[in-house]
Amino acid sequence: MVFVKPSKGLSVDALACPEPADLSTLQVNVGELRLTADGTWLYVLQVSCGSARWQVSKRYREIRELWVALGTCLSAASATNSCTEHCHFLSGLEHDKFPKKRLLHTQHALETRAAELHVFFLKLAMRLNLCSPTELECCRLRGCPVLALVSGFFQTGKPLIGTASCRSILLERHSQSYDQQFSKKRRGSSTRRFSFGFADRNSTSVVAAVAK
């Protein structure tokens, strides 16, 4: 029997995505925010590839580093030579609006940034969804650095072990409604859970923008 060493900040609902992952079926949602013991907010990303589903917890800094690295990689000649036309759907991603760093972590600020990050991941996944599995596999075999960044970030093909957190904010998206529900803090408890929803009004515009 092989035991897997736990990975900090990562959790999984199902077994890890098979290797290699079919990134043409990638779907990503920001499902929850978790506050760790050291005061760091983690974005819990609900990821799926085909029939596999799992969660990856990332800091805002890590997500921004992905965005910067993708922009650098897409502008490099090596990406063009190794990828030919297959990953050019991602071209322009570095010019998309990215959530700014906020000094105050109020509920409104966290909610707003989570919604903006959801749109960022939606655009990223939809661009990959436009590719065929065969083209992406050929691109991967050529050593495409763009796919390597995406696969590494979402931990595709690796078994992930969950870790506990002391506080969380659940994000629920509704097509036409916006609601907020706050549960009262239990006496003697050290945790507090918030649940709020927001309409995904940007989905239609994103589809149109990517389809052009």
Largest CA-CA distance found in the chain, in angstroms, rounded: 61
Domain-located, residue 2: no
Residue 174 placed within a domain: yes
Q: Does residue 184 form part of some domain?
A: yes
pLDDT in tens, 105-140: 788 888 889 999 999 999 999 989 988 888 888 888
Sign of CA dihedral 99, 66, 29, 6: negative
Instruction: Print the domain residue range for 15.
Output: 10-211
List the end-to-end C-alpha distance of the chain, in Å, as a whole number: 50
Domain for residue 61, yes or no? Answer: yes
Using one digit for the tens of pLDDT, what is the confidence trace for 54-89? Answer: 999 999 999 999 999 988 888 776 666 666 655 667
Distance, in Å, from the CA atom of 152 to the CA atom of 92, rounded to the nearest integer, reads: 21
Pairwise CA distance, residues 70 & 63, whole Å: 11
Number of domains within the chain: 1
The CATH number of the domain holding residue 145 is 3.30.1520.10
